[in-house]
Amino acid sequence: MSLMNLPIDRRRFLLSSVPLGAGVSLASAAQGPGKAEASGKNMSRLFSGCCAYSYRKYLQHGPMTMEEFIEKAVSLRLDGVDMTGYYYKSTDQPYLASLRHLAYRNGVAFSGAACGVSMVQGDASKRANALAEIKKWVDVTDALGAPHLRIFAGKLPSGATLQQSIDWVVETMKAGSDYSGKKGIMLGVEDHSGVTQRADVCLEIMHRVNSPYAGINLDITHFVPTASQDAYAQIAACIPYATNTHIRDKFDDGTPIDMDRVWGMFAHAGFKGFMSAEYEGKEDPATGVPKLVEEIRTLCKKYSSV
């Protein structure tokens, strides 16, 4: 596909290679009416969070339970937790209600929930199944009292084009956000390994879904640098659509992330939300997670306007 045949917003992103400072690109100034003008004036509100996935070593087969993860958030002095859905005992209402009540009693907010649904499905019936799964997890998220659900796009299937995959994601996410919006729940597609590892793809999906209940679950580690945009520029371009974040201190290739620079970009954009640790380091999470959380807390305090 030629550049001129691309959707206009994706074309603008690909043409924007001039940095504006602190990792902000021209792309971030072209995301929508008023966004660029207001970016330096908005008040940032940055909160410390942690994904249950950070403790997967202990949650997957024990000895930790999701109840204990919520209690761990208290000792870590976290503002909130992301309730990764892989480790629930069930999705029955009484169990979900018990988690919600425990979090309330401990003063722990749920920044969101996360499931493993992927939307890149060439078969129409499989896309229908993916949509049904999204709706199921929206209901789970609603029962928890959480405001956000993370979903995946998926990997490019053999024989399919990137544009076809984007079309499938847009179709499913648009219908999913129509459903989640009725419950006041945001859907955030993660820039995960697969078709959404480039910011231009994420932005095209956002503009085409065009819903106030659709956004990007912005994982700062996964973007693949292009000839014109490094990972920092792609992070900055997606911040206006960020619904939630996943934070590690290294990119996928092992390169250390300049965390101070990243927080500065979120603050400059006036981001209001959780900066959630998703630990995958080699150190045992019992000691590794607290270190990452402490760095996150320090940076949130430094860069929050209020």
The reply to whether 32 falls in a domain is no
Strands (DSSP E) found in 119-208: 148-152, 186-190
**Residue 29 to residue 221: CA distance in whole angstroms:** 22
The reply to whether 19 falls in a domain is no
Q: Is the peptide bond before 157 cis (omega within 30 degrees of 0)?
A: no
The reply to whether 28 falls in a domain is no
The reply to whether 24 falls in a domain is no
The reply to whether 86 falls in a domain is yes
Number of domains in the chain: 1
What are residue 81's DSSP bridge partners? 50, 110
Secondary structure (3-state) at 137: helix
Residue 39 has pLDDT above 90, yes or no: no
pLDDT (0 to 100) of residue 41: 54
Within a 13 Å sphere around the CA of 177, how many CA atoms are in the beta-carbon half? 25
The domain in which residue 188 lies consists of 41-303
* CATH code (residue 261): 3.20.20.150
The reply to whether 290 falls in a domain is yes
Record the pTM.
Answer: 0.87
Residue 281 Cα distances to 213, 286, 290, angstroms: 32, 11, 12
**What are 258-292's pLDDT values in tens digits?**
999 999 999 999 999 999 999 999 999 999 999 99
The reply to whether 79 falls in a domain is yes
The reply to whether 33 falls in a domain is no
